[in-house]
Structure 1
């Protein structure tokens, strides 16, 4: 599903190049879940941006469903994101002028995969039934994050990338949102890559890798081979 082959990434600073990723090798199989742990500034978000084709490596190769992301132009990478990926961020990035129902369906419409029955099921499972005509500012933080997760999963993506998806929530709400996220991903059979600093978030996932000083360490192999 996703593969990094000796990926390097650095950013220019007044003090010279800042190396963020230093020869990253990573693979994620279809239906597998992987937690990417690391301190703030360790490069977790950079790795996810490369996986999504929002940025390109300086060296090495990122492959998504056996296609090299670097070989695609901007339009090709955008098309690949629409057709293959769901993205969930710490900041919800909901469209304030769209109500709950339209925010939920937005990504599916862009991908040409709107499914009314699936959208209705998502609304129910997200706990947002009865809130369809409300706008993001009228929702709690937990409701907004659930809506953001639903929007990402509405097109039934093969891979979901989540960057600190519970970072803005209190512990109890974060647990509820994480449980919902994992259940929906499991039912869809999607692969999942979560960037997090929280061992609590990482614990239920199949594997956990730690990113430190630009390199990855396999910290744990979960007991379950599959969802």
Structure 2
């Protein structure tokens, strides 16, 4: 599903070059879940952005469904993201001018996979029944993040990438959102890569890797 092979990424800083990823390799199989942990600034989000084709490696190969992401022009990478990826971020990135139901179905419509029956089911599972005509600002933080998860899963992508998806939520709400996320991922059978600093978020997943000084290390769950 997703493979990174000997990936390097360096950023220029006022103090000189900063190597964030150093010869990083990983494989994520279809239907598998993987937590990526590490301290702030360790390169977790950078790796996720590279996997999504939002950034490009300095060296190395990144393949998604057998396609070398870095070799594709940006319009093709954007098409690949629409059709193959679901993205969930710490910031909800909902469209403020769209209602709940239109936000939910936005990604599916862009991917030409809009399914009204599936959307209605998601609304029910997300606990948003009766709120379809509200706008994001009228929802709580937990409701907004559940909506963002539903939007990402509405096209039934084969791969879901999540960057600190519970980072903006209180502990109780975070636990509820994580449980819902993992349940829907199981239902859709998509692969899942979560970037997190939380052992509680990582614990239910199949595998855990830790980024440290640019290197990936296997971490016990």
Matched, 1:75 2:48: no
TM-score of the pair, normalised by structure 2? 0.99
TM-score of the pair, normalised by structure 1? 0.97
CA separation in 2, counterparts of 1:16 and 1:41? Answer: 16
3-state SS of 2:56 partner: coil
Aligned CA RMSD, in angstroms, stands at 0.6
Q: CA deviation at 1:150?
A: 0.2
Aligned to 1:130: 130
- What runs of 5+ residues in structure 2 fail to find an aligned partner? none
The ranges of structure 1 where at least 4 consecutive aligned residues each deviate by more than 3 angstroms after the TM superposition are none
Matched, 1:109 2:109: yes
Residues 99-154 of structure 1 show CA distances to partners (whole Å, capped at 9, x for unaligned) of 10000000000001000000000000000000000000000000000000000000
Aligned to 1:172: 172
CA separation in 2, counterparts of 1:84 and 1:44? Answer: 21
Aligned to 2:189: 189
CA separation in 2, counterparts of 1:3 and 1:67? Answer: 10
CA separation in 2, counterparts of 1:162 and 1:14? Answer: 30
Residues 162-198 of structure 1 show CA distances to partners (whole Å, capped at 9, x for unaligned) of 0000000011100000000000000100000000000
- What runs of 5+ residues in structure 1 fail to find an aligned partner? 223-227
3-state SS of 2:183 partner: helix
CA separation in 2, counterparts of 1:110 and 1:12? Answer: 35
CA separation in 2, counterparts of 1:13 and 1:204? Answer: 37
CA separation in 2, counterparts of 1:76 and 1:94? Answer: 24
3-state SS of 1:166 partner: coil
3-state SS of 1:174 partner: helix
Q: CA deviation at 1:71?
A: 1.2
Aligned to 1:225: none
Aligned to 1:49: 49
CA separation in 2, counterparts of 1:150 and 1:140? Answer: 15
Aligned residues: 221
Aligned to 2:210: 210
Aligned to 2:142: 142
